[in-house]
Amino acid sequence: MNAEQFKAIRRELGLSQRATSKLFRMGTHGWRNVQRWEAGEQDIPWWAIYTFLSLQNGAPVDTLPDNCPDYILQAINIIITGDLPDLSSPE
């Protein structure tokens, strides 16, 4: 997946760069990494690609690899259920 494809899927899922970083528990400045991914300055991690492709294709969460971090599973569940927390406030 290239940077433009990742950005398109993120937007399709209705997530901002900050919301994406918060869902993935990337820390206060994690959105900068998302920005770097989308600018092609940094490789997109496998777990971010896998998560977005899974969500885009409607794959069930139980198809994720066994080594998928718990916070990724929680992020997927939040997106699927639509129960998004307030992502506009700073951490």
**SS3 annotation, the chain:** CCHHHHHHHHHHCCCCHHHHHHHCCCCCCHHHHHHHHHHCCCCCCHHHHHHHHHHHCCCCHHHCCCCCCHHHHHHHHHHHHCCCCCCCCCC
Q: Name the domain count of the chain.
A: 1
22-71 confidence digits (pLDDT tens): 878 788 898 999 999 999 999 999 888 888 887 777 665 555 556 667 77
Note whether residue 87 is domain-resident. no
Note whether residue 89 is domain-resident. no
Between 88 and 41, residue with greater pLDDT: 41
Note whether residue 90 is domain-resident. no
pTM here? 0.66
pLDDT of residue 65: 59
Domain span at residue 44? Answer: 3-81
pLDDT of residue 91: 46
Note whether residue 88 is domain-resident. no
Note whether residue 86 is domain-resident. no
